[in-house]
Structure 1
């Protein structure tokens, strides 16, 4: 699949995945369109992709008046940056997101500033988000259900990646929309890699979130990056190991080097991501994830 294209999710009826082409990397950004009785879009990309996403929704057969839900897994702008633009395009759709993310989409100014600080020159791949009107957005809590007419999604809080993160489970189809809660599965190397953005990454909660997904016993898992795949229980162990080993690697390098900027530089230079992402994105991703772990380690040390 290439940027702007979409295809059915094998094994899940009526579900499609759209490739946003985020960060000039094919399949890096996955948006899901579920053509149910009450159609829903799960995540939106940065907003820079919106014209091709609009085309995908139209080609699937969902009219501008027919889309009922715009669902964000969390407020990070690579997942929810297009929510306001979609709300403008689809006047009958309600935007839904975990409760702690609502304020970020209603007034995205602080989120934009935080994102610019976190992603630095990668901001060129984003678009300024449109605010979501307060009367068009609702917050979700653990255990809530999203009515799709002929099926439903069940909300499960998953705040390890960010406090405003959740995963969504359709028990009838055995599919979980995991976004970043289970890490990033990279098909090219058949591995799960950790994602640990600042400022509120929490390792222990991430491990709990991975267990939450495994306890749901899904048949399919829809990652927020690089798309869906069949779920195997071994993935939970692989994901947990990836997160633990990543945090320990950053901890050890901080002890060795003693300077956080030097630690970030080390992991930028050592990143294996360059083997399967464009070099610019690989360096930016390594920097972001390293700084997230360093902030987590500071938090843990402050608790002791």
Structure 2
């Protein structure tokens, strides 16, 4: 657990490796909320963090999902059972998948298989519809006197919103503001790049969402992947440039035929390694690729889906 200012902490979600996904704990007086909840395996870390801080399970009042991709939301059903007074706050396009997760489970199982699903995500349980709050663009949640504002931020997913915390003058960004792993930070400067994973990547919408976040002149961003980043204006410029670069790489690979996927993987890897070098990182090629894990693979998959949709 990492403690920040303004009663915000990052709890490691225990997804694949340490530092891969964060669950943010926010306190307002005697109440607490989570932003994203990780997987079914993440609950033990959350419960340990609450116990360490002296927060009773009954004081956890909200579980807020930035979107319903499994690394962010598959543990929601288990968490709602563990925290009896909690309400689930979710984008209206994602709410039905939390109430009945059968389609999410079927789709992911078809990709990963049952054993890998259990290892990565644990049990994915339904959430009682009566405990679900659906947001709209501009919705403000009164979290025990600490207002949290929700805005619609498509681009990574159509069921994505970001949350403005006026107290810290910061956004909880889910995946909209990209990925910034601690291992790639150099002299306090984060290295951020977009996640274009399938199936709803939309570069125009993503750019607009990033611009909307930046327009609030935030002091920090809290990323699910991973934690608090500052120096936001420079990060924003870098992220927008890298969104454009991902699109250019995809268009360049579009004519590669059966070799398109491999061309995308090679070009994305080379581009991100070059950018990381320019950032000043001393990670080796293999170390960087190990940190990014499946991200390059997922980005390539998402770009292929986008290319096929753009050509349709």
Q: Same fold (TM over 0.5)?
A: yes
| CA distance in structure 2 between the aligned counterparts of 1:118 and 1:240, rounded to whole angstroms | 30
* 8 Å Cα contact 2:34-2:63 kept in structure 1: yes
| CA distance in structure 1 between the aligned counterparts of 2:147 and 2:98, rounded to whole angstroms | 24
SS of the residue 1:198 aligns to: coil
| CA distance in structure 2 between the aligned counterparts of 1:132 and 1:267, rounded to whole angstroms | 41
| CA distance in structure 1 between the aligned counterparts of 2:267 and 2:74, rounded to whole angstroms | 28
Give the superposition deviation at 1:278.
Answer: 3.4
1:66–1:235: structure 2 CA closer, same or farther, 3 Å change rule?
Answer: same
Give the superposition deviation at 1:117.
Answer: 4.2
* 8 Å Cα contact 2:202-2:306 kept in structure 1: yes
Instruction: Answer with 183-192 or 73-82: which moved more.
Output: 183-192
* 8 Å Cα contact 2:221-2:232 kept in structure 1: no
Equivalent in 286, 290, 301 of residue 278 of structure 1 = 290
Give the superposition deviation at 1:265.
Answer: 5.7
- Give ranges in structure 2 of 5+ residues lacking alignment: 185-189, 274-284
Question: Would you say 1:126 and 2:118 are equivalent positions?
Answer: no
SS of the residue 1:16 aligns to: strand
RMSD, matched Cα? 2.2
| CA distance in structure 1 between the aligned counterparts of 2:166 and 2:269, rounded to whole angstroms | 42
Question: Would you say 1:91 and 2:101 are equivalent positions?
Answer: no
* 8 Å Cα contact 1:268-1:287 kept in structure 2: no
Question: 2:281 maps to which residue?
Answer: none
Question: Would you say 1:180 and 2:153 are equivalent positions?
Answer: no
- Give ranges in structure 1 of 5+ residues lacking alignment: 1-5
Residues 43-79 of structure 1: CA deviation (Å, up to 9, x unaligned): 0012212112111122222211111101000000100
Question: Would you say 1:288 and 2:280 are equivalent positions?
Answer: no
Question: Would you say 1:197 and 2:179 are equivalent positions?
Answer: no
Size of the aligned set, in residue pairs, is 292
Equivalent in 155, 159, 178 of residue 154 of structure 2 = 159
Alignment of 1:21-40 (within 5 A): 21-24=14-17, 26-37=18-29, 38-40=31-33
Give the superposition deviation at 1:125.
Answer: 1.8
Question: 1:297 maps to which residue?
Answer: 307
Give the superposition deviation at 1:224.
Answer: 0.8
| CA distance in structure 2 between the aligned counterparts of 1:208 and 1:119, rounded to whole angstroms | 32
| CA distance in structure 1 between the aligned counterparts of 2:311 and 2:46, rounded to whole angstroms | 43
Give the superposition deviation at 1:122.
Answer: 5.7
Give the superposition deviation at 1:269.
Answer: 7.3
Residues 253-288 of structure 1: CA deviation (Å, up to 9, x unaligned): 232455444446646876758523637x62x32221
| CA distance in structure 2 between the aligned counterparts of 1:245 and 1:56, rounded to whole angstroms | 39
Give the superposition deviation at 1:231.
Answer: 3.9
1:215–1:117: structure 2 CA closer, same or farther, 3 Å change rule?
Answer: farther
Question: Would you say 1:218 and 2:218 are equivalent positions?
Answer: yes
Question: Would you say 1:72 and 2:75 are equivalent positions?
Answer: no
Instruction: Answer with 264-273 or 100-109: which moved more.
Output: 264-273
| CA distance in structure 2 between the aligned counterparts of 1:234 and 1:264, rounded to whole angstroms | 26
Give the superposition deviation at 1:27.
Answer: 1.1
| CA distance in structure 1 between the aligned counterparts of 2:299 and 2:110, rounded to whole angstroms | 14
What is the TM-score normalised by the length of structure 2? Answer: 0.86
Question: 1:55 maps to which residue?
Answer: 48
Give the superposition deviation at 1:156.
Answer: 0.7
Residues 31-50 of structure 1: CA deviation (Å, up to 9, x unaligned): 01111133211100122121
SS of the residue 1:49 aligns to: helix
Give the superposition deviation at 1:129.
Answer: 1.1
